Structure 1
Amino acid sequence: MIDRFSWVAIYPEIVLLVMACAIALLDLFDRSRGRKVAYVLSLLTLLVLAVLTGMNASAGQTVYGFGGIVVSDQMANWLKCFAALSVAVTFVYSRTYIGDRGMVRGGEWYVLSLLSLLGIYVMISANNFLLIYLGLECLTLAGYALVALRRDHVSSVEAAMKYFVLGAMASGFLLYGLSMMYGATGTLDIPGVFRAVATGQIKHQVLVFGLVFIVAGLAFKFGAVPFHMWIPDVYQGAPTSVTLIIGSAPKLAAFAMAIRLLVEGLLPLAIDWQQMLGVLAIASLLLGNLASVVQTNLKRMLAYSTIAQIGFVFLGLMAGVAGGTALGAANAYSSAMFYVVTYVMTTLVSFGIILLLSREGFESEEIADLAGLNQRSPLYAGIMAVCLFSLAGIPPLVGFQAKLSVLQALISAGSGLHIAIAVFAVLMSLIGAFAYLRVVKVMYFDDAASDAPIRAPWDMRAVLSVNGALLLVLGVLPGTLMTLCARAVVQMLSS
């Protein structure tokens, strides 16, 4: 552990902020239709950040800065690395889409996306209540603007308003819960909160009251039931490129925020918040899977799928402490981290195919729009099928490994309730599988409405192929990523 080099702990954030400002200024002199300068510089920035944070994670050091309010450990750096790669892939997938819809007139697409990533980075490394909230607001404010980026599109503006109103309410919940914890413990630093709660001298009722609001705020950011109302409307109403931005990397930040607050700060209250997460998980699995079955809009179906997938993440988080001991904490939290990372990877593929099939004046948003995709392009139909099978949890794809690791952690907790919840999760997954298999049936057995060939830029075709292949490779050989997550969580728990 190092607490002397404060700037070392935040230099990825400094690089990201400087480059976002530089790209905004340089874009003033770029008159090209596709904003090539902003695109290239943004991609280079994200790749450099991915390399830097990956090297930091591999070094294995835990660095604290600015009096301990910032932490740079393995978990933070790997999540930052994956977040940067996620946004980079989104830029590659979205380039043609945003150009056709005039969303790069001023280059604000790239700048706002980088600023949302800055908020993600701050949230991931935050070791203080105020810093978590600062990162959250940076992320969400940029997200509101991105959703409303198509100012002449009614559904986008409507989705932005819903997102803004509900997001402000959820931020208020979280801030109120954090203020309650500050009032009870007398500190804003997460390690200080842990020490204060562990003394057992603070009234349990006061702590639980604040904890309820914190969990509510976290549940909204994840999109768990009953705080899921914004997910289907925003996913459907926002431009597909923006849907991909808000549906991928921010999930990594939400996971980091949950770990920092609930595990590093409030682990002595695990029995209380695990019960809350259990209820949220059961409700999310039930509603998410049942609602996805009846959807005809593909983006809306994937939105309800997201709600169901978040239920599995919560199952991992609720299995850490059992029988008054935290012996299974590392296994449980690493399985949740593995699930989040692989889910983001799968989300990139699914919305990448939607972006590929969309063209100027046409949004490929309905399930029927994928009819006969195998006749038009066996490659892209195969990639989408792999993605859908992974979401359904069918072996040997990575989605199966992710679900299996969470269920193993849940069963390892040992109680009859945990085992019953694991069985319930499997049953809900079987129901939800119908929604994914229906899309596969449409792609392979329905007649195509058009015989027009599907054309994609070489970079999008290459990245989409690699992205799809990873779902299979990591399903067959998950050990490397699982070990990475396990080491990151073990270091976090021991520091």
Structure 2
Amino acid sequence: MIDKLSWIAVYPEIVLLTMACVILLVDLGVKSPQRTLTYVLTLLTLAVVAALTAAYAIGGNTVYGFGNMVVSDPMANWLKCFASIAMMVTLVYARPYAADRQMLRGGEMFTLAMFALLGIFVMISGHNFLVIYMGLELMTLCSYALVALRRDNATATEAAMKYFVLGALASGFLLYGLSMMYGATGSLDVGEVYKAIASRQVKHSVLVFGLVFIVAGLAFKLGAVPFHMWLPDVYQGAPTAITLLIGAAPQLAAFAICIRLLVQGMLPLAIDWQQMLAILAIGSLFVGNLAAIAQSNLKRMLAFSTISQMGFLLLALLAGVVNGNKLNAEFAYGAAMFYVITYVLTTLGVFGIILLLARAGHESEEITDLAGLNQRSPLFAGVMAVCMFSLAGVPPVVGFYAKLGVLQALVSSQQTLYVVLAVFAVMMSLVGAFYYLRVVKVMYFDAPNPGMPTAIDAPTDARVVLSINGALVLLLGLMPGGLMTLCTQAIASVVKSLGT
């Protein structure tokens, strides 16, 4: 008999699944090439789910359901809320682009996006290895299909094949690592695995062997070096609307499973996985920033930018535990959560501009396509500049405070290695500032390309959302305290639950 609390824990998932199925059936009768009814129903559903998860999060309760297989805690609910909002914004930006390229002939894009979000929800709330893996597979299978949505486009099809093959390999790594951990501890429950490892009754070499595969699988999902090979090709080859869909909300889920597996499940092995994360972070910051400088394609540059940004995220994750002491955990993991949320917000703004500049027959993917943007649309140029400054970590925008939080977490650990890593991260940020500021220079100081339309036509809803998006990047930089407190309190509930 399933108790009432189990159903309460998964209400948002039930609403999302039910409405995804309803919208799939309703879309069969929609004749509009713009899929207006499907679009409106999808946005309304996502808004309801975002409100529901926010209400759960504000309540501050932690509820376990279905025999501890799922958990509804403040961290999970805030991440679900932000993921829902990110998916809403993505679809607002993507709709005009997709309509111009005949990607809305059926309602697949909206339905697959909702099922991908359901996978994200399951990953975020999973408290059992199999549940987390099921959520991961649901999200990635939808992502493969979305990348290949333009069936008549050879580049998109090639990107989908690369993504599928490398994604299957990474899933195999993760699953093998989880199976090793199950064999060693005798449980799939995250809490039970923590207790088994903490008891020190399990052979350490077996645990580390499984941990290597788990970290490799997680690194692929984050796009960390050396598991980054898929990211530039998929970002460049996928339709831009789909690039945003796989590059925004899924990052929140990747962060969540890092917390669930590494912190809630394997914190007693922190000394081992922190060393692995340090290597991944150094490689990601170095390769991501240096490779981005050489790119002329904007989407490919942003892919390498993502790799470097994930390096910063990994630095925050490795600073949480120092010599077995968890005093720095709330601040470090809270800084990581703040970082990933603000990164997603900024990414939405950047790709929103690229999507709204694109028109039928032209993609606006090259950096030179932004030449003279300020003369054509001061609004678009302003939002893009704010987002570029944020990614570069220039004050007073939110990216500066996000990077500062990570650096503070490293320095407050009072470990020489972590202080050195903080200095290295600052140096790599200076390198990264070059390619971000180059985009600003092209927009404001280069002459517009001949043949570019002087006016930029964008739907009203997209313009309004884009304006709010840009304003939030600036306002959260000026007043970051509220979001930072929210993240720290959400992580505090996770840290308190360790070992229970």
TM-score range, shorter chain: over 0.9
> What residue number does 1:257 align with?
257
2:143 matched to which residue of 1? 143
User: In the TM superposition, what is the alpha-carbon distance from 1:198 to its structure 2 partner?
Assistant: 0.3
Give the C-alpha shift of residue 5 in structure 1.
1.1
- What amino acid is the match of 1:178? L
Distance 1:238 1:271 in 2: 38
Distance between the aligned counterparts of 1:383 and 1:144, measured in 2? 30
The answer to whether the 8 Å contact 1:223/1:310 transfers is yes
Offset of 1:323 from its aligned partner? Answer: 2.7
The aligned amino acid for 2:326 is A
Corresponding residue for 1:490? 492
Unaligned 5+ residue runs, structure 2? none
Give the alignment's Cα RMSD to 1 decimal. Answer: 0.9
Q: Which residue of 2 aligns with 1:208?
A: 208
Contact 2:349 2:469 survives alignment (8 Å): yes
TM normalised by structure 1 equals 0.99
1:436 paired residue number: 436
Does the Cα contact within 8 Å between 1:290 and 1:431 map onto a contact in 2?
yes
Task: Give the drift of 1:226.
Answer: 0.3
Residue number in structure 1 paired with 2:417? 417
TM-score by length of 2: 0.98
Q: What SS does the corresponding residue of 2:150 show, helix, strand or coil?
A: coil
SS of the residue corresponding to residue 224 of structure 2 reads: coil
**Distance in 2, Cα, partners of 1:492 & 1:324:** 17
Report the equivalent of 2:107. 107
What is the aligned length?
494
Measured against aligned partners, the alpha-carbon deviations of 1:357-400 in whole angstroms (never above 9, x if no partner) come to 00011101000000000010111101100000000000000000
Query: Is the counterpart of residue 465 in structure 1 residue 467 in structure 2?
Result: yes
Q: Say whether the 8 Å CA contact 2:56–2:77 is kept in structure 1.
A: yes
SS at match of 2:64: strand
The alpha carbon displacement at 1:108 in A equals 0.2
Q: 1:123 maps to what in 2?
A: 123
Q: For residue 447 of structure 1, what is the aligned residue in structure 2?
A: 447
Query: What is the CA–CA distance in structure 2 between the aligned matches of 1:373 and 1:320, rounded to whole Å?
Result: 42
Question: Which whole-Å deviations, capped at 9, do the CAs of 1:221-261 have from their partners, x for residues lacking one?
Answer: 00000000000000000000000000000000000000000
For the residues of structure 2 that align with 1:451 and 1:156, how far apart are their CA atoms?
A: 26
> In structure 1, how many angstroms separate the alpha carbons of the residues matched to 2:3 and 2:317?
29
Q: 1:461 to 1:152 in 2, by over 3 A?
A: same
The 2-side partners of 1:145 and 1:379 are apart by: 34
Distance between the aligned counterparts of 1:288 and 1:486, measured in 2? 28
The alpha carbon displacement at 1:451 in A equals 4.7
Deviations 1:325-379 (A, max 9, x none): 1110000000000000000000000000000100011101000000000010111
Q: Which amino acid aligns with 2:147?
A: V
* Structure 2 residue aligned with 1:162: 162
CA distance in 1, matches of 2:63, 2:453: 56
Match runs of 1:63-82 below 5 Å: 63-82=63-82
Provide the rounded CA distance (Å) in 1 between the counterparts of 2:96 and 2:461: 11
Identity %, equivalent residues: 67
Aligned equivalent of 1:44:
44
Following superposition, the deviation at residue 3 of structure 1 comes to 7.7
**CA deviation digits over 1:306-328, x for unaligned, max 9?**
00000010000000111331110
Aligned to 2:220: 220
Q: CA-to-partner distance for each residue in 1:180-238, whole Å, 9 max, x for gaps?
A: 00000000000000000000011100000000000000000000000000000000000
C-alpha distance in structure 2 between counterparts of 1:224 and 1:385, whole Å: 26
Aligned to 1:188: 188
Give distance in 1, aligned partners of 2:454 and 2:424. Answer: 44
Q: Match of 2:349, as an amino acid?
A: V
Q: Tell me the CA shift for residue 290 of structure 1.
A: 0.4
1:15 paired to 2:15: yes
Letter in 2 for 1:484: L
d(CA) in 2 for partners of 1:107, 1:388: 33
Distance 1:224 1:15 in 2: 34
Asked whether the 8 Å contact 1:3–1:68 carries over to 2, the reply is no
| Structure 1, unaligned runs of 5 or more | none
Aligned match of 1:54: 54
- 1:44-98 Cα shifts (integer Å, max 9, x gaps): 0000011000000000000110011000000000000000000000111011100
Q: Following the alignment from structure 1 to structure 2, what is the Cα–Cα distance between the partners of residues 138 and 55? A: 26
Q: For the residues of structure 1 that align with 2:397 and 2:462, how far apart are their CA atoms?
A: 22
Answer with 449-458 or 399-408: which moved more: 449-458
| Structure 2: distance between partners of 1:3 and 1:20 | 25
Amino acid at match of 1:336: A
- CA distance in structure 2 between the partners assigned to 1:45 and 1:271 by the alignment: 43
Instruction: Measure how far apart 1:4 and its partner are.
Output: 5.2
Does structure 2 retain, via aligned residues, the 8 Å contact 1:3–1:63? Answer: no
Partner of 1:476 in structure 2? 478
Q: Distance in 1 between matches of 2:152 and 2:324?
A: 56
